Amino acid sequence: MSTFKVLQFNMQFGQGWDATYPDLAPIELELTISEILSHDADIVLLQEVERAQPGGVQTDPPPNYTRLQAALKDYFGYFSYPKADARELPFGIGLAIFSKTPLRDTFRCDLPSPPIEFDFFGEKRTPTDRILIGAKTVLAGRELQIFNTHLLAYFMLNSSSEKHIEQRRLVVEHLLRTNGPALLGGDFNVSKHESLTRQFAEAGYRTVQAEEITWHRRPYVLDHIFYNRHLQPVSHAVKPTMSSDHHMLVAEFKFLNPA
């Protein structure tokens, strides 16, 4: 294996894209699975795997992840819900990592959300916590640390992650603890992404791309794959899809010799 491929995708629990009525688009999980499989990635990073249930109920086993596991039969998987919370809104929830090589040292870390009040159909609400998950695998005889996250969309709350830095700070803490090859994918929900990419660059991580829009709803680059100095990107592409309100981001990497 001279290179390996990574797929980053906020799958919005299998709900397709309808520009006229985006929140009423049908859920077609089999189409989502088909698109994921078509890229034949070595590592798949998914956000919004499940749809949040009323009252914050978390179905166990998670139904969409269970279907993904069955379809991605040549992959090893790890999934985590965030902390159960009755305030959860009926949007996407839960992160997954799939890898063609075995995963070990899996973990999850809560990313607390601040008590910012916002209006949801006339009711005052506050946001629920997010998570960072991770695992290690071995590719071509080299150990790789994998991270996956989905941060709070502060811009939807008329605020900014530059004002509320805790989630980004906790992610950076994990990045700084990693000495070998590592990558971080996710939906970072940062509308003005320059501060995000600068902050992570200061921690030794670069994004494969920050120019092409990755979200249907607004012209933002929300999705990233960050990598450290032990990896070199060989190619990348934003892959438009109608199986989510996000596009897919695909990148190929190769390992560099230790510095």
- Which of 4-8, 20-24, 43-47, 94-98 comes out lowest in average pLDDT? 20-24
Per-residue pLDDT band at 69 (split at 50, 70, 90)? very high
The CATH number that applies at residue 41 is: 3.60.10.10
Tokens of 168: 């980004």
User: What's the helix, strand, coil split of the chain in %, to 5?
Assistant: 20, 35, 45
Average pLDDT over residues 234-252: 98
CB 82 within 8 A of CB 130: yes
Per-residue pLDDT band at 257 (split at 50, 70, 90)? confident
Model pTM greater than 0.85? yes
Note the pLDDT of residue 1. Answer: 63
What number of other Cβ atoms are within 10 A of residue 216's Cβ? Answer: 18
CB 41 within 8 A of CB 253: no
Give the residue from 92, 250, 257 showing the smallest Cα distance to 183: 250
Q: Residue 215: give the domain boundaries.
A: 4-255
Tokens of 201: 């660059």
- Neighbouring residues of 165: CB distance < 8 A, sequence distance ≥ 6: none
Strand partners of residue 224: 186
Q: How many domains, in total, are found in the chain?
A: 1
